[in-house]
């Protein structure tokens, strides 16, 4: 009875994964077993804020007055048998990429009054499709984008090392590391959108999903406008399924 759980533990590599997750996020292993995702993001925020001599407010009962926001665009799949090829297009780390590209962070969010008081020129700010305003990284780099850049860069290195590794133990450790880094990066957006979380910011999460909707709709239009018989292709491409979540955007395209 005691041997079987040990074999399961080894097979599922829980020890490696939990150790790597604790190392990446800076929380005790016990927190990974008893706490949710938000404590891991908060720990990374605190660590980065300390490096920059910044303080984070201790918000109690956060999110009780926060509103809701529009989520991702979803086009329901059309079930059927397709004889012609189906292609899948996938954005890599869509929501983290949006947060990095547009410098979305607590410390870069400004109100219209802030823009007027600070006399910020239009070229120094980004106005999101949801109507929020954030300063660009040329003026002030956000903490969240910095965290995401480090997580994704570290994951890229771990995956590269994993390809070169030959020792089973080393491969298990590296795979646990890249998985921990992936989960941590994808948790940042959810942390800002959790209205009952520790540090919610609907302005950030609504901006992320608004950019995501814009990109998915642009992708659909680009596919259906470019890949046509008039453009020299054998068939007209048609989008059959769209899903945009905090992890990936998928587009299934078939020629008819």
- pLDDT tens track for 204-252: 999 999 998 888 888 888 888 887 888 887 777 777 777 664 333 345 5
Helix (H) or strand (E) holding 241: strand 237-244
**pLDDT score recorded for residue 27:** 92
pLDDT attached to residue 68: 62
Mean pLDDT for the chain overall: 83
What's the whole-number mean pLDDT along residues 166-187? 87
Mean pLDDT across 182-208: 89
State yes or no: pLDDT of 253 exceeds 70: no
State the residue range of the domain holding 83.
3-255
The pLDDT score that the predictor gives to residue 248 is: 33
Structure confidence at residue 61 (pLDDT): 55
Percent of the chain predicted with pLDDT > 70: 88
pLDDT at 254: 54
> Please, which residues bridge with residue 127 across strands?
133
Q: How many domains are contained in the chain? A: 1
Query: Can you give the pLDDT at residue 102?
Result: 96
Do 158 and 176 contact (CB within 8 A), yes or no? Answer: no
pTM: 0.81
List the CATH number of the domain containing 70: 3.90.1600.10
Per-residue pLDDT band for 180 (boundaries 50, 70, 90) equals: confident
**Candidate from 100-114, 145-159, 211-225 with smallest mean pLDDT:** 211-225
Residue 103: C-alpha distances to residues 96, 124, 126, 163, 244 (Å): 10, 11, 9, 32, 20
Average pLDDT on 10-15 reads 80
Orientation of helix 168-193 relative to helix 38-51, angle to 10°: 90
- The pLDDT-based confidence of 74 (bands split at 50, 70, 90) is low
């Amino acid at each position: 009875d005691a041997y079987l759980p040990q074999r399961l533990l080894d097979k599922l590599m829980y020890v490696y994964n939990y150790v790597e997750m604790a190392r990446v996020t800076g929380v005790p292993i016990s927190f990974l077993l008893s706490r949710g995702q938000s404590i891991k993001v908060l720990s990374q925020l605190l660590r980065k804020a300390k490096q920059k001599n910044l303080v984070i407010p201790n918000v109690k009962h956060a999110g009780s007055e926060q509103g809701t926001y529009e989520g991702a665009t979803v086009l329901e799949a059309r079930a059927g048998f397709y004889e012609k090829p189906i292609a899948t297009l996938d954005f890599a780390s869509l929501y983290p990429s949006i947060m990095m590209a547009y410098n979305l962070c607590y410390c870069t969010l400004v109100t219209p009054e802030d823009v007027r008081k600070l006399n910020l020129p239009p070229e120094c700010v980004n106005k999101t499709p949801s109507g929020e305003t954030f300063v660009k990284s040329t003026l002030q780099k956000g903490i969240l984008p910095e965290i995401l850049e480090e997580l994704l860069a570290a994951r890229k290195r771990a995956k590269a090392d994993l390809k070169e590794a030959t020792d089973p133990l080393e491969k298990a450790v590296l795979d646990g590391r890249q998985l921990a880094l992936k989960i941590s990066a994808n948790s940042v957006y959810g942390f800002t959108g959790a209205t009952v979380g520790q540090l919610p910011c609907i302005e950030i999460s609504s901006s992320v999903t608004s950019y995501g909707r814009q990109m998915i709709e642009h992708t659909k239009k680009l596919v259906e406008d470019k890949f046509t018989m008039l453009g020299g292709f054998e068939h007209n491409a048609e989008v059959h399924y769209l899903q945009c979540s905090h992890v990936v955007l998928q587009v299934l395209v078939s020629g008819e």
